[in-house]
Amino acid sequence: MKLKLLLRSRPVSRVADAPAPGLWVAAWRRVMGADAEVVESALGDELEHVSPCYLVAAWKPLAAGQFALRRYPAVARLASADGDGEPVLRVLLKLLPSDARLFVPEMDVDWGLIAEIAMASEPEPTPDRLRLLQAVMRRERHKRFEQIRRRFQPEGAGGRDAQPPFAPTQTPDD
């Protein structure tokens, strides 16, 4: 995430560079790059800019005696921001209490789950946003299946060529 470089170059006062009590834990991931598309309008075809999209998530500060994050974040959204790093942090901070401070560690996040939560909490779902979230869920589900298969399947079990219970281009409901 290049957060250390971000903090050195343009500090964001609500972002800590080390874990501490009372800090929210945050993560983000780009799920779609900037794009442009031709749209029809009353004046004819026009070029419309589409900002990059990110999945953002934040977990509440750990309670006393709690040593691991909860499975579900307190916030999960699909967000648009022009640029990585600070613009994404600013979008994420707007979703949190005004006094919230963040720590952004390098961590393994279940982005498929975050996409599911973002879909369920999408305030104004559009077909394009829903398709993007569904594509992230499918891709992550397939990736997770492959990781589990490689890690846990015994050698010589004959199932090394096992396929996920769904094709990577379809959902279980297809």
Three-class SS state of 31: strand
Name the stretches of the chain with pLDDT < 50: 1-11, 171, 174
82-112 as b/e: b if 16+ CB within 10 A = eeebbbbbebbbebbeeebbbbbeeeeeebb
pLDDT of residue 42: 80
Other Cβ atoms less than 10 A from the Cβ of 18: the count is: 7
Q: What are the structural domain ranges in the chain?
A: 3-110
Beta-sheet pairing, 44-50 with 35-41: antiparallel
Neighbours of 119 (CB within 10 A): 18
Both tokens of residue 80?
A: 């648009």
56 near 75, Cβ under 8 Å?
Answer: yes
From the number of C-beta atoms within 10 Å of its C-beta (0-12, 13-18, 19+), residue 138 rates as buried
What pTM was estimated for this model as a whole?
0.71
Distance CA 96, CA 75 (A): 8
Residue 157's pLDDT is 65
Strand order in the sheet with 24-32: 15-16, 102-103, 24-32, 53-59, 75-80
| Model confidence pLDDT, tens digit, residues 40-49 | 778 776 666 5
Please return the burial class of 77, using the count of CB atoms within 10 Å of its CB with bins 0-12, 13-18 and 19+. Answer: buried
